[in-house]
Structure 1
Amino acid sequence: MRKMTGEEFDPLVSFFDGMAQASWLRPVHDRLKKGTGSWANRAVLDVGCGTGRLLARGVHEAAHLAGVDLSKQMVLATEERLHEHKQCGRLTVVQGDAYDLPFADESFDVCLSTCVMFLLPEPERGMKEMIRVLNGAGVIGMLNPTNKMNHAAAKAYCKKSGITGFEEKTLLQWSNVSTRRHRYTAEQLTHFFKQHGAWVVTHELVLDGLAVVTVASWNK
């Protein structure tokens, strides 16, 4: 399986920004943020931050927001969206690789990743990096497609939910890529995080079971 490059994502800033605002993804982002608890006075990292829409939910809450993305253009879009917070030193956005996050060990209280880890040839390698930069009592929140996700199932979900046009295109694109990359069961994710020291791992199925929000927390 080939590892994608940042340059492949550079022309897709508008697509992913629109996807982050889609009616099927916005509520999932809300659930993910709620699941990771309060961000008040916490340092929060989004791995594969895209255009910064998820981080933007915490601008009036977190002590520090950080984003990393493989695409230079996504980084620039996040910096533009959260410009005020960068100016006051509460934002760090860098171009970087999920396999080698450019942050020191135990730098963050909350680590997030949505629609990203499943793309990697070795998702577990990226998840280990999230664990490395998480502090001793931190929380990881992720969104991944389940093994029920495929084009036909996504198409049926769109029809049932009245999702059309561009929003339907984004969900179908996610379904098509997921069948060529990685899909997960809750049990697989629980096994991985427990194996790496998590105390509690919870899951919430979303999009009629086509995807899963996972929250893992532990005290190292």
Structure 2
Amino acid sequence: MPGEEFDELVDFFDRMAQTKWLSTIHEQLINQTGSWNGLSVLDVGCGTGRLLLKGGKNAERLTGIDLSSKMIDRCRKLAGEADYQHCEFLVGDAYHLPFKDESFDLALSTCVMFLLPEPEKGVGEIVRVIKPGGKMAMLNPSVHMTEQAASGYCSKHQIKDFEKTAMKQWSKVATRRHSYDEGALNTLLTSLGFGSVEHLPVLDGLAFITTAKKAK
């Protein structure tokens, strides 16, 4: 998946990250991971960096990586505007993270792993770069996410305009990529070295936040 295909979508993804529904999910994910104080935090497929900037004010170090150079340009711009001095944003591939083993306390990946042709490779790289006992948190669509289900959710919760457009676009992509139920994701994560796997349903079960710890 070349990064250039996402270069023209920077504004769309940045607006999507600021929608009420996705901002709320980001807050839930941050709460699920606990305090970031003093932690080194990595976001794989960071987009425009909104999640890192939302939760990482007191982190020791924030690192974002994305295939799209334009996304990374926007990350750097937003970090500068927020006067975050402890950030680093890099263009890179989720299959080949340019970091040493056991470099991070916490790794995030939202709306990314289900897009990869081989998600297990991306998760395996995350395992590699997390310290023993460190955490991972992901957001993925569930097997219940369809365009029809997303439309129903928007009608039920009176989600309109761009907020609705963004969710329906996410659902459209989700139906063409990987989706997991909790059992399948448990099996994948435990096979790669994670334990203490927990799932938090969001969007009325159309997606879920998954947290897990790397074995010590």
TM range (shorter): over 0.9
AA aligned opposite 2:41: V
**Structure 1 stretches of 4+ moved >6 Å:** none
Q: Secondary structure at the match of 1:140?
A: strand
**Structure-2-length-normalised TM-score:** 0.97
Q: Percent identity?
A: 50
Corresponding residue number in structure 2 for 1:55 = 52
SS at match of 1:24: helix
Instruction: Note if contact 2:141-2:207 (Cα within 8 Å) is conserved in structure 1.
Output: yes
Does the 8 Å contact 2:4/2:68 carry over to 1? yes
Name the counterpart of 1:174. Answer: 170
Match of 1:128 in 2: 124
Deviation at 1:59, TM superposition (A): 3.4
Deviation at 1:192, TM superposition (A): 1.3
What root-mean-square deviation, in Å, do the aligned CA atoms of Structure 1 and Structure 2 show? Answer: 0.9
Q: Which amino acid aligns with 1:152?
A: Q
Query: Within 5 A, what are the aligned runs for 1:30-179?
Result: 30-83=27-80, 84-85=83-84, 88=85, 90-179=86-175
Query: What whole-Å deviation, never above 9, does each CA across 1:152-209 have from its counterpart, x for those lacking one?
Result: 0000000001111111111001101111111111111111111222220000111011
Q: Secondary structure at the match of 1:138?
A: strand
SS of equivalent residue, structure 1 residue 204: strand
Alpha-carbon offset, residue 91 of structure 1: 1.1
Q: Who is 1:199 aligned against?
A: 195
CA distance in structure 2 between the aligned counterparts of 1:17 and 1:156, rounded to whole angstroms: 24
- Once residues 100 and 141 of structure 2 are traced to their aligned partners in structure 1, the CA distance between those partners, rounded to angstroms, is 29
Q: Could you tell me which amino acid in structure 2 is paired with residue 42 of structure 1? A: L
Letter in 2 for 1:204: L
How far is 1:118 from its partner?
0.5
Unaligned runs of 5+ in 2: none
- Secondary structure of residue in 2 paired with 1:18: helix
TM-score by length of 1: 0.95
In structure 1, what is the Cα distance between the partners aligned to 2:41 and 2:129? 11
In structure 2, what is the Cα distance between the partners aligned to 1:207 and 1:70? 27
